[in-house]
Structure 1
């Protein structure tokens, strides 16, 4: 497994652990994006833990949609073909 994929799998597992929601990935040509739905409420400790996980990414952010809030993280690297997978792949 390449280093970027290994980092992405580890980051997805950590995001799942911090939020209690399963993270998912999108493998793009130049990066891997990991997303996770955020719980309605995060404790201060939960927020700090989330930020600590996100800090290990090359880029990260937060989107708010009608379905709720999503945190995302990107790892440089990726594959030649875009595809979606769960954190268990």
Structure 2
């Protein structure tokens, strides 16, 4: 049985969080936004193996937008899932997907050391 329109992005966000946690070995979190979209954040452990990094990138490409932040406590990847997901009424391509201007492999570039 399909969920309501409001439940679909929520379910997708939690599924993505579980899958990111499985690849990274860390605890992901899901943050709802007032517009009905969801943000998934997952910390990246130091020394994450190359095949795991590729797995993270493949998962992030499923989102409408994704990125990476370097924080004092470590690195975090994030993904945002819009209310409409891949069935957006405007037909716009997903950001970070094949039509993105930024190659996906740049999302996990380590911060420059100074």
Structure 2: runs of 5+ lacking an equivalent: 84-114
| Per-residue deviation, 1:39 | 0.5
From 33, 36, 44, the counterpart of 1:38:
44
Query: For the aligned residues, what is the CA RMSD?
Result: 0.9
* Equivalent position SS for 1:69: strand
Stretches of 4+ aligned residues off by more than 2 angstroms = none
- CA offsets, 1:5-59, max 9 Å, x none? 1100110000100100010011011220000110101111011100011011111
More strand by share: 1
- Structure scoring higher RCO (CA < 8 A, sep ≥ 6) equals 1
TM-score under structure 2 length normalisation: 0.65
TM-score under structure 1 length normalisation: 0.82
From 49, 53, 59, the counterpart of 1:53:
59
Structure 1: runs of 5+ lacking an equivalent: 78-89
From 12, 18, 22, the counterpart of 1:7:
12
* Equivalent position SS for 2:58: helix
